[in-house]
Structure 1
Amino acid sequence: MKRLYKLAVLSTAVSAAFFTPATMAKGADSYPSKPITLVVPYAAGGTTDLIGRALGASLSKQLGQTIVVENKPGAAGSMGANEMVNTKPDGYKLALTPVGIFRQPYLQKTRYDPVKDLSYIAAFASYDFALGVDANSPYKTLDDLLKHAKEKPRELTISSPGRYSGNHVAIVELAKEAGVQVTHVPYKSDSEAIGALMGGHLDAVMSTNVIIPFMESGKVRVLGVAAEKRPEAFADIPTLTESGYSVVIPSPLGIAGPKGLPQEIVEKLDLAVKAAMEDPDFLKVIKDYGVRTYYMDNKAYTQFAIENFENEKDVIERMGDE
């Protein structure tokens, strides 16, 4: 932790050498004076893309400039962070930053370092991970499901949209907490996994908020949510902690710029994000997709990034070959 903190301080010091107080103040006063590009590290049309576009529309109102969304899918949602490495720190190119960017450097070589190469502006939303079964499943409760897993190790199949996704982490952590062994079946997306569940090819899925329409229509039964407290969209569903398993998997979605982004610009953008969270149009999109608003200002988000990057190493080690 101390090492990471020193890295963050060093990064700030290097940035300061290039931006004097007078330069920063002048830049912040006139900023923004042209359109801003927001890199969304997922394909167009998905939940994160639609939320990113809604945020961009609201930021456009707050800042008086057009926000141009640029989709760059791939690399487990880390393409936005990659893009920031060679981006000029003037605030005209930013990126959505999902929590997976802190895990990816431990899984493969990345162009970016989450602590040294990004200026964290604010977090504004959070996904939740819900454990669901088909409506016709014999498992009525979480205890029913885990009882089967204890009696027949590895027989129970649970899906996620890929190895080392937040969903996968939630599966592994729950299995370890419950002292059971399950078989993880990775799919390409939550939607594909839910389709396989309803087709009788799986026992359960650990899904993001994509599961909500299936839950509301009665096609899927949600047994628990890996959240600290019950999210509004899952108000009638117990958290895994309530069920006796201390599994809380935070998944905030935020916005960041390249290293060296002047603090005055960071704070102006932070205030615009905070204002967006009171924008009825933005809140409607968030609610429509069952995603929670979750605000962290630039200081809190930066601290979260430092701590989460360190913690992810332990998470990966605990997962092993699961």
Structure 2
Amino acid sequence: MKLKSALLAATLAVFAGAASAEEFPSGSVDYIIPFGPGGESDITARFQQPFFEKLYGEQMVVNYQPGGGGAVGWSQLNNMAGDGSVIMGINLPHIIIKPKQGDVGFQTEDLAAVYMFHYTPDAIVVTADSPYLTLQDLIDDAKANPKQVIFSGSGKGTANHLAQVQFDEMAGMESTYVSFKGTGASVTALLGKQVKAAWGYTTVGAAQGDKVRLLAVAMEDRHPAFPDVPTFRELGYDMVSGAYRGIAVPNSASEEVRTQVSDAIKAINADPDFQKQMLDGGFALVDVGYGAEMDAFISDKAEGYLNAARSAGIIE
């Protein structure tokens, strides 16, 4: 009788453990942004919060762990709980370029990326009163006056910088890139006429409205918020690029937890109200889930980023 009771208790414990393992989220989820507040990673995390609560009845609590262009947070991710209670924002090209620049405490393959949910497409931005009415106007000036067309942009090795390197090669021109500490400072320099143009994102166009004009966007199709702005591809330059953002979990997370977190972010991305909020803000949605799809996506993007970084002398 005692043996039967012990076996029954053990069986119930196994089922209880299985039920517990399947429960996600089991409470609030800490969503760590490895940058300071106010940037695109923070903005989109704030967009996600109410939709997560609507779907799961739990809080998604945004915290910040800035430093080293994201490296401080990413280097510490794998020391955190892998039970689904902690997720962290990731950013391409940062997680690819940073480890190639020196010892930053992590390698790209150390990060368990489970979902990429959006990107901010690269765009060439000028002031509304700029003499550059088209992308060709800018190219013609840059060819006639090598290195005299000065762009502002976010820091070295960022998506903006790598886009400038790639486009100069494609267009056969030489421009000058001045890096600023973030998109905000780059836009301030543009509006203050310290530079002739900016390598920014479509989000700059959404935020600045009629103060700026976009000459081209690095997307496969035109952005819904800017139907009159051509893509680089339309103008003869095969360029689809930007800063891609997603979610990673500690690498101790089980396959089940990784899939659950991936499915949760996918469900948020599928909400029409979330989609509208993102597009209105100038963001572009992508849906890259956990597994072979993610591995292929990161591998494909890495090749282009690394080639541009070598051309720029950022890495060897």
TM-score normalised by length of structure 2: 0.86
> Partner residue of 2:219?
227
Match of 2:21 among 28, 33, 44: 28
Cα separation, 1, equivalents of 2:28 and 2:66: 22
> Partner residue of 1:294?
286
> Counterpart of 2:146 in structure 1: which amino acid?
P
Match of 1:61 among 54, 65, 77: 54
Please say if residues 160 and 184 of structure 1, whose CA atoms lie closer than 8 Å, have aligned partners that are also in contact: yes
> Counterpart of 1:285 in structure 2: which amino acid?
Q
> Counterpart of 2:104 in structure 1: which amino acid?
T
Gaps of 5+ in 2: 1-13
Matched residue SS, 2:31: strand
> Partner residue of 2:8?
none
Change over 3 Å in CA distance of 1:214–1:251 after alignment to 2:
closer
> Partner residue of 2:262?
270
Matched residue SS, 1:60: helix
> Partner residue of 2:11?
none
Please say if residues 24 and 264 of structure 1, whose CA atoms lie closer than 8 Å, have aligned partners that are also in contact: no
> Counterpart of 2:59 in structure 1: which amino acid?
T
Residue 24 of structure 1 and its aligned partner are, at CA, apart by: 8.8
Cα separation, 2, equivalents of 1:250 and 1:151: 28
Match of 2:113 among 95, 120, 125: 120
Change over 3 Å in CA distance of 1:63–1:237 after alignment to 2:
same
Cα separation, 1, equivalents of 2:130 and 2:67: 34
Matched residue SS, 1:184: strand
Gaps of 5+ in 1: 1-20
Listed one character per residue, the Cα deviations across residues 221-270 of structure 1 (whole Å, up to 9, x for unaligned) are 21111222212122211111211222221432111101132111222222
Cα separation, 2, equivalents of 1:262 and 1:24: 14
> Partner residue of 1:108?
102
> Partner residue of 1:3?
none
Residue 57 of structure 1 and its aligned partner are, at CA, apart by: 2.9
Match of 1:314 among 300, 307, 312: 307
Please say if residues 24 and 262 of structure 1, whose CA atoms lie closer than 8 Å, have aligned partners that are also in contact: no
> Partner residue of 2:137?
144
Cα separation, 2, equivalents of 1:86 and 1:69: 18
Change over 3 Å in CA distance of 1:163–1:22 after alignment to 2:
farther
The 5 A counterparts of 1:1-322 are 25=18, 27-99=20-92, 100-115=94-109, 117-213=110-206, 216-217=209-210, 219-299=211-291, 300-320=293-313
Aligned-pair Cα RMSD in Å: 2.4
Change over 3 Å in CA distance of 1:311–1:202 after alignment to 2:
closer
* Aligned residues between the structures: 300
Change over 3 Å in CA distance of 1:180–1:61 after alignment to 2:
same
TM-score normalised by length of structure 1: 0.85
Change over 3 Å in CA distance of 1:259–1:309 after alignment to 2:
farther
> Counterpart of 2:182 in structure 1: which amino acid?
S
**Worse overlay, 302-311 or 235-244:** 302-311
Matched residue SS, 2:173: coil
Cα separation, 2, equivalents of 1:214 and 1:35: 31
User: Among the aligned pairs, what percent are the same residue?
Assistant: 29
Matched residue SS, 1:172: helix
Listed one character per residue, the Cα deviations across residues 12-53 of structure 1 (whole Å, up to 9, x for unaligned) are xxxxxxxxx999955532333222111112222333212112
Please say if residues 207 and 281 of structure 2, whose CA atoms lie closer than 8 Å, have aligned partners that are also in contact: no
